[in-house]
Amino acid sequence: METVNNIINQVLIPLLSTILLGIVGWLGVKLKHSLDEKEKNKTFLEIIARSICATEQIYKTLHGREKLKKCVEIANGMLATRGIEISEDEIVYTIEAMLAEFNGAFDAGEAKQPPVVAGFVPAESETPAEEQAEG
């Protein structure tokens, strides 16, 4: 019986402690990665909102694709300073989606073309905002 206790004390307890410590460490890394991703996504959305506001303030005379291009440039610069790498397509899609949300294009479940707000037009269009608003 004493040999069984020695085996448990000398082999099984250290082995189980090592396994448990490994599992806790792995869970900690996964949790940190998840929290980092959540923070990155939050920062990304805040930067897109700021870049839209900055573009509206700085480039009042631009419209359509030119204004969208400037907004993407501003967002890319802000993301780069924080070490966040996002594809330009994802930035454009997020800008378009955020503008549609700002414009209330999807209120009440209606599927309609997002209205023009402050000179932004959907990426497919190349006409100035005034022409879009009149048409």
DSSP letter (8 states) at residue 89: H
- R_g of the chain computed on alpha carbons: 26
Q: How confident is the model at residue 4 (pLDDT cuts 50, 70, 90)?
A: confident
Neighbours of 44 (CB within 10 A): 19
Burial class (CB in 10 A: 0-12, 13-18, 19+), 75: buried
**How far apart are the C-alpha atoms of 69 and 93, rounded to whole Å?**
12
Q: How confident is the model at residue 133 (pLDDT cuts 50, 70, 90)?
A: very low
CA distances from 33 to 16, 27, 29, 64, 87 (A): 26, 10, 6, 38, 20
The reported pLDDT for the residue numbered 113 is 52
